[in-house]
Structure 1
Amino acid sequence: MTKSNSVFAQKINVDSLLTVAVKETNQDRNYESALKKTQLGMKLAPDYLDFYLLTGRIYQLTNVKDSARYYYKYVIGKNPVYEDAFAYLINMDIEDKNYADAMITVDKAIEAHPGKKDFRYKKLAIYELQGEKEKSETYLKEMQAMYPKDSDFKLHYFIADSRLKSDRIGVNYNFTTFDRSGYGPWHFGSLQYIRQRNWGSAIARINYSKRFADGQSVIDGIQYEAEAYLFTGKKSYSYIGGGYSSDPVFPKLRLGYSFFHNFNKGWEADLGVRYIDTDDTNFATAVVGVGKYLGSYWLNLRSYFQFDNSTVYPAFTLTTRYYFNTRFDYLTLIAGYGTSPDERTTIGQIEQRLSLDSFRIGGGYYRLFGDHYVTGLQISVNDQEYTPGSKQIETEIALMFQYQF
């Protein structure tokens, strides 16, 4: 055998040795035997860094972490192209709550692999684990600028922003006209206060509704509402809401609860219930929703299944948003069928509208001016059946203004 053939055979043997060691580590979990093979491999091929990396992995799996760190750092020092060495070392330091060391390593990983988003996610995770909310938000803004179509960064940013301390006061006004002679218009206004903290947000709201027919006011009233969005985990939160009114233009009692969970890759889902109590009846509604962030877009389909007198009345709402710089800056398009208990301007007629067809479409634009002024304009058209076989077109203009401080 020639010298070159001998070297080639040795290389094949070393590769085979590594293959067996990997199998014993990952499948057989025979760490003692695998470690002997990696140590032999390092002697036979001292420049073959895969043996050093696997040795570090074996020490990590057997909880000999100081040795694991030594071999990971050795691999990184020799050749930072090894992404796994960075990943294993970062994860081990995070597990041991050595966040300062983890941050040093993740910065080196980003420098060596600037196009690898996984390391940028790790840096975000370290900020969040340390409770560095402002640094986390600043970093998320940088990542949004770098990866504007990354739905996970956008979702993380919106969640982080909703945990920052802020207060808002605002007014809403809705004006609804009807193409039916002698009917309408409707006026609906609300005054609200929103308190946002690390635990979530609380909302107090007073609604006023006044409806006209044949040029005269026919009914009006006030409703009092309280709502809260409470974080229940890093990827979940709950909505709790209730409203009360002694005026027949509103239901006597409105209650609601929903649980929201954010999954990976921009997916989210919610499951909830609504309860309406009027002078004549009461009924419950099951709510199921699914949403998806696609870059700067957010798509959400929410279904309502309303149970009244042993009959189920469905309603569906499809919402599309295109976000710009913040969660307050977006264009929206909405389409839906049926009447749901989440529609404030028509909730006073929900009992009459449940069994009637309704097809609606609308669009709006919302924008944050400076750091304080949140504004919005939305227009919608509803093809509403008001008695079986008879329809009217309802056109609604909604204005919103909030001051954030």
Structure 2
Amino acid sequence: MMSLFKYILSGAVLCLSLQVQAQIFSKGKDADELYEEAVKETRLNHYEKAIQLSKEALQKRPDFTDQELLLGRLYMLTGNTQLARRYVKQVLTKAPAYYDAYLYAVNIELGAKKYEEAECYVDEGLYQFPGDKTLMLKKLSILDASERFFQGGNYATALLEKYSTDTSVQRAYTGHFLLAGRYYQLRNNQLLAMQNYERALLLDYNNEEAKSAITAMYIKSGSYTRAIEQVNAELAGNPGSYELMMRKLGILQEMHDYPAAIDQLQQILKRWPGDAKAHSMETPLRMEAAAWYANTDPYLLYQGVLEKNPGNREALDKVIGLSMSRGAYREALAWINRGLKNNPNDQKLLSLKLDVLESDRKFSEAALLAEKLYAANRSSADLKSRYTALKIASGRDYLSQQQYDLALAEFDKALQTDPRDTTALDMMANTYINQKDNIHALQVLDRALAAYPDNSRFLLKKSGILAAMGQYDEAATIAAQLLRRSPADPKYAANLTELRLTAGRTLMQAEEYDMAAREFRAVLAQSPDNIDALNYLINLQHAVGQADSALLYANQALTYYPDNKELLLKKAGILTEMKRYNEANALSYQLMQRYPFTAKYRTAYTDGLLAAGTAYQGNNAPDSALAIYRQVLGLNRRDSLALLYSINLLSDKKEYDSALAYANQGIRFYPDNASFIQKRAVLLENKKLYAEAALAADSVTKLNRSAENMDYADYLHSKTMKNQFGMFFLHSSYDYQDNSYNIATLEYRHFFKRGSYAARLNYAGREQGTGLQGEAELYYTHNPKLYSYALATYSNEIVFPKTRLAYSLFKTFKHDIEGELGIRYLSADSTNSISGVASIAKTWKEFWVNFRAYFISDSPEFYTSYNLTARYYMNRQQDFIAFNAGLGTSPDDRSRLIQFPKLAGLLTRSVGAGYQKTFKYRTTAGIFGTWINQKISSTVFQNQYDIYVTLQRKF
């Protein structure tokens, strides 16, 4: 029992040790793979699993900042603020320019209501990324959350000026003032609440919340006239609104303007006669009116005094005061104007009118009045200051309405009064900038800088205008001056960098590459690790074909950002351009291994391999190229380029079976791609499998019915046809006799693997009877460079020679030269003739030329005959035009074999021409004409004219 226990124990120990060994020696997933999995789990909301994967990744690579930030985000999502804060802080300590980390840090502190910390983080982010819209919006939300609405209002205005057309900024601007309005309204600060709601309406005039709130405040404060005016304005745009008409009724009721209220109720009942609510209000409204008129409003009392005694100043002051206290500025203004009719120079009334106009935001009218008051008292510094401020406020209003000419006129008047007013100068410059009138904006800024030469705001603005005008050197000089003056201020360094980057980008677009490079190098001189400048220089040098310089900058950038994926990818691309494929592909392979789920790295590696393969192919190293393409197909067996390149290389090596396997693979993956099907057809043709090749070609024509594809399909179908039927007709006429002679021929030909054989029957009618001749013909290919021709005929001797025998051996030499040696035998009219034949042929592209000589022995005579034939081929050598010339009578001349014994010794010359046309590689028709001139004696010549027509059809 004890020994059994020992065995079991030892076995368990052994299994455990094997498991431990396997864990020790197993490679496991690297940090990048764990990070990618954590990202996927985060997207699926599996936060705990993602946290576990993130911890494992950080154990493998503690300095993995992307992973630390993801872990901080995960803790933020799971509500663990303390750990979220810790990891995000660690990221910012290691990578102060990590943009997303600032957003997470701000969100963490905002969620914890630690507004000061949130603002610190957003300010640090803006230091790193000056003018970033998202961070600026975050800062505005912090100011709103911490209820610092005054600062928030200024910040929202600045943000809107910077991004005036951005809808998200416009929404944030409106949202801020709505929030501020609600805040002040709840605390009964009606003035500030109303101002904020009105600011909200500047951008969103139809905002219902702001309109309703303002109306409520008007009613609460007794400013019924303004409330009525607002409702009336809305009713003008929507006269049939039940809600607006009921709201107006309520305001009139609150104003105790019962006649108008009852009239409004009657209008409602007239429009909606069945409305129960309106009917229920009629009696109570009349009862309330009756009770009210039992007493009299003080305002009405003083109004009654003025009606009886318009000059009563005390009553006038009381009416004006009561109107202003109720916010009824228009009523107050009407009473002030009434008083000024009697006393137009009354300083108190004029001052009151100025206050009312300013309170009612009628800055243009207020400025005109202030100008009048200031003209009467030039010594008053207060009036001067107020007049200038009102002119500027009026100009701002015009500017917000984009009435630039009126705005400029107001700012100009302010500057006439106070030429050194910085606000007026600034606003005038802004007006020109908004109009994109940089010349005048620059003049205003020069005027401002003449008064305030060290004003940073004016200098910065001038630098921006010069940059907009393309005067980057001058702009950079100013920016550098500001930086020298305040080297610790990050915004000046950022401004100078941005100026040079913008200049470089503009010069690049204008293809001024040398000047652009100078700007980017200046950025690097100031900040050697500037990623934008490094990237631009890499791209620029690559664009102008300076791959060595591009690689130099890529290596410089990687010293600062060694793990930057985009830089590594760019370096791989540059190395590929430099044909340093092994180095490039090593980099792409590392990226692909680190980020296996990112398609662009796999694509870059694949493209690099393909480039290496084509380089091997171009250097006539097909085996090395094929090995590379196999690597590509190992990564992606569907890669169409690798498949096509492999097919071409294997086809060139005549490894048709292997090429065919790749073509079939391509068809399987891309069934509608004509290229792969076409490759299959060509390969099958090379293997002489014409039937299968023809089926493949038919599939190509279904996808693309081009003339070329249909022609190739016809060609392949013709190769599958083994039989041919032919009809030939030869007509000969003479100028020395009236008779003409014709020969008709029927032919059957069969094609086999090494050539063809044919049987012919010739028919000719003569006075002496009907001539028949049978022929047997053979073409036989011995090997690709050697073939034979043989002919045997037999006739009834009525017209044709009794017997003809012929044999020739043809051999192909280099440079498309073909030679022939042969023999001919002819038996006719008790005469036997033996001839030797020799010929040479040469092909030049579409031209084929053949010269043939016959050496004829007709015992006891010996003759020679020569023939020259030239052809010009067309339509892929389907058709040709032929020309021939001859000297003497040859034993192959069909039209004169009947008379050969009599003609052999005569001096004979012949010329002829013809045309042969093939239709779809199947039907061939031809017509040929020959003129023959033969010398009978020293003074006698006779002519023969031949017309030869052919028609052949494969089946």
Alignment TM-score, normalising by the size of structure 2: 0.28
Matched with 1:351 is 901
Which one of 341, 355, 364 corresponds to residue 914 of structure 2? 364
Q: 2:614 aligns with which of 80, 93, 100?
A: 80
Summarize the alignment of residues 2-401 of structure 1 with structure 2, pairs less than 5 Å apart.
Answer: 78=612, 80-82=614-616, 83=618, 84-86=620-622, 99-101=656-658, 130-133=687-690, 165-180=721-736, 182-211=737-766, 217-218=767-768, 220-325=770-875, 327-386=877-936, 390-401=940-951
**Which secondary structure does the structure 1 equivalent of 2:739 belong to?**
strand
Paired amino acid for 1:238: S
Q: 1:132 to 1:76 in 2, by over 3 A?
A: farther
Report deviation, 1:370. Answer: 4.1
Write the distance in 2 (CA, Å) between the matches of 1:95 and 1:375: 36
Paired with 1:395 and 1:178, the residues of 2 have a C-alpha distance of 6
- Per the alignment, in what secondary structure is the counterpart of residue 900 of structure 2? helix
Task: Give distance in 2, aligned partners of 1:133 and 1:354.
Answer: 46
1:95 Cα deviation (Å)? 12
Measure the CA separation in 1 of the matches of 2:693 and 2:785: 16
Inter-partner Cα distance in structure 2 for 1:373 and 1:130: 25
Higher strand share: 1
1:399 CA displacement: 1.2
In proportion to residue count, which structure has more helix?
2
Quote how far apart the aligned CAs of 1:321 are: 1.1
Q: CA deviation at 1:225?
A: 0.6
Deviation per CA, 1:180-236, whole angstroms, max 9, x where unpaired? 1x353111111111112222111111112234xxxxx35541111110111111232
Deviations 1:81-129 (A, max 9, x none): 3443128989x98999854457799xxxxxxxxxxxxxxxxx9998677
Q: Tell me the amino acid that sits aligned with residue 228 of structure 1.
A: L
The CA deviation string for residues 260-281 of structure 1, in whole angstroms up to 9 with x for no partner, is 1223332212211111112322
> Secondary structure of the residue that 1:249 maps to in structure 2?
coil
- Alpha-carbon deviation of 1:368? 1.8
Q: Deviations over 1:35-81 (max 9, x none)?
A: xxxxxxxxxxxx899xxxxxxxxxxxxxxxxxxxxxxxxx9974633
d(CA) in 1 for partners of 2:916 and 2:923?
Answer: 11
The answer to whether the Cα contact below 8 Å between 1:245 and 1:251 also exists between their aligned partners in 2 is yes
What is the CA deviation profile of residues 285-316 of structure 1, one whole-angstrom value per residue up to 9, with x for unaligned ones? 11111111211111111111111225431111
Could you tell me whether the CA contact under 8 Å between 1:164 and 1:197 is conserved in 2? no
SS of 2:892 mapped into structure 1: coil
Q: Quick one: which amino acid aligns to residue 726 of structure 2? A: G
Deviation beyond 6 Å, 4+ runs, structure 1? 87-90, 92-97, 102-105, 123-129, 134-139, 160-163
Secondary structure, in 3 states, of the residue corresponding to 1:265? helix
SS where residue 801 of structure 2 aligns?
coil
For 1:340, what is the secondary structure of its paired residue? Answer: coil
Whole-Å Cα distance in 2 between the matches of residues 299 and 161 of structure 1? 29
Q: How many residues align?
A: 301
Corresponding letter in the other structure for 1:353:
L
Asked if structure 2 preserves the Cα contact closer than 8 Å seen for 1:248 and 1:348, the reply is no
Amino acid paired to 2:745 = S
Partner-residue secondary structure (3-state), 2:902? helix
Report the CA distance shift for 1:164/1:268 in structure 2 as closer, same or farther (over 3 A): farther
Whole-angstrom distance in 1 between the partners of 2:863 and 2:684: 46
- Work out the percentage of aligned pairs sharing the same amino acid: 30
Q: CA deviation at 1:396?
A: 1.1
Distance 1:334 1:302, change over 3 A: same
CA distance in 2, matches of 1:349, 1:235: 37
- 2:718–2:954 contact (8 Å) kept in structure 1: no
Q: Which has the higher contact order (CA 8 A, sep 6+)?
A: 1
| Aligned counterparts of 1:399 and 1:95: Cα–Cα separation in 2 | 42
Deviation, 1:163, is 6.7
Does the Cα contact within 8 Å between 1:271 and 1:287 map onto a contact in 2? Answer: yes
> For the Cα contact (< 8 Å) 2:581–2:611, is it kept in 1?
no
Determine if contact 2:721/2:954 at 8 Å carries over to the other structure: no
Q: Could you tell me whether the CA contact under 8 Å between 1:322 and 1:330 is conserved in 2?
A: yes
Deviation at 1:387, TM superposition (A): 5.5
* Unmatched 5+ stretches in structure 2: 1-579, 583-608, 627-645, 663-679, 698-706, 709-714
Amino acid at match of 2:804: R
